């Protein structure tokens, strides 16, 4: 699990918060990491696992969360210090020859101003997302 985003910008901290709460549950076989943004070093971490779930906040979602496959893509986003999940997977494939099963859990956020703590709406959506994720993990664990 890699949760990314800025906890200093309210709901942009959904990713790291999700990773921290999952980590606290100590699910066997699951490693959790959090960061402000994805970088090239995350490709190494992804290559060392069979299943990777990126967790990030999302704007303008109509439902609490979405869960989609991440396919390696060579195109770069506008900011490349901060890579998109697709670029991380492309680097993992190119550098290490690994293509783990990768997903993106995008959780609906509402507040983005400078500040700490999730909004009440984001907390509710996070709870639903984590419930879903735990079920998913039961299905993929050995």
Partner 1 sequence: MALARKITIEPVTRVEGHGKVTINLDDAGKVIQSRFHIVEFRGFERFVQGRPYWEAPVLVQRLCGICPVSHHLAAAKAMDVIVGAGPGKLTPTAEKMRRLMHYGQMFQSHAPHFFHLASPDFLLGMDADPATRNVIGIVALNKERAVQAVLMRKFGQEVIQATAGKKIHGTGAVPGGINKNLSPEERDQFLKGAPPFTIDQMIEWSLAAIELFKDYHGKNKDVVDGFAAFPSNHLSLVRKDGALDFYHGVLRAVDAEGRKVLDDVDYQDYLDYIGEEVRSWSYMKFPYIKSLGKSAGWYRVGPLARLNTCDYIPSPLAQEAFEVYKAYTDGKPNNMSLHTHWARLIELLHSAEVIKELLFDKDLQGTKLVKKGKKVSEGVGLVEAPRGTLFHHYRINGDDQITMANLIVSTTNNNEPMNRAVHWVAEHVLAGKSEITEDMLNRVEVAIRAYDPCLSCATHALGRMPLEVELRDSRNNILTRKVR
Site of interaction with partner 1 (CB under 8 A): 5-9, 12, 34-37, 39-41, 43-44, 59, 74-76, 78-83, 87, 90-91, 94-95, 112-115
Toward partner 1, which CB reaches closer, 59 or 141?
59
Q: Of the two residues 122 and 137, which places its CB atom closer to partner 1 in the complex?
A: 122
Q: Minimum distance from CB of 43 to partner 1 (Å)?
A: 7
Cβ atoms 107, 122 nearer than 8 A: yes
CA dihedral sign of residues 77, 69, 59, 35: negative
Rounded Cα gap, residues 131 and 129, in angstroms: 5
Q: Report the nearest approach of partner 1 to the CB of residue 61 (Å).
A: 13
Nearer to partner 1, 12 or 125 (CB): 12
- Taking the complex as a whole, the smallest distance from the CB of residue 105 to partner 1 amounts, in Å, to 16
Give the separation between CA 32 and CA 19, rounded to whole angstroms: 6
For residue 12, the 8-state DSSP code is G
Q: 2-4 and 51-58 as β-strands: parallel, antiparallel, unpaired?
A: parallel
């Amino acid at each position: 699990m890699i949760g990314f985003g800025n906890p200093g910008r309210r709901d942009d901290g959904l990713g790291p918060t999700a990773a921290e709460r999952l980590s606290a549950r100590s699910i066997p076989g699951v490693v959790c990491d959090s960061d402000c943004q994805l970088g090239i070093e995350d490709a190494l971490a992804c290559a060392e696992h069979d299943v990777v779930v990126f967790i990030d906040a999302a704007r303008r979602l109509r439902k609490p969360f979405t869960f989609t496959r991440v396919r390696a893509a060579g195109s770069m986003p506008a900011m490349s210090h901060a890579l998109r999940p697709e670029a991380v997977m492309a680097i993992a494939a190119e550098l290490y020859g690994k293509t783990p099963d990768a997903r993106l859990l995008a959780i609906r956020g509402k507040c983005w101003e400078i500040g700490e703590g999730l909004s009440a709406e984001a907390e509710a959506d996070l709870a639903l997302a984590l419930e879903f994720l735990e079920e998913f993990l039961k299905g993929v664990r050995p």
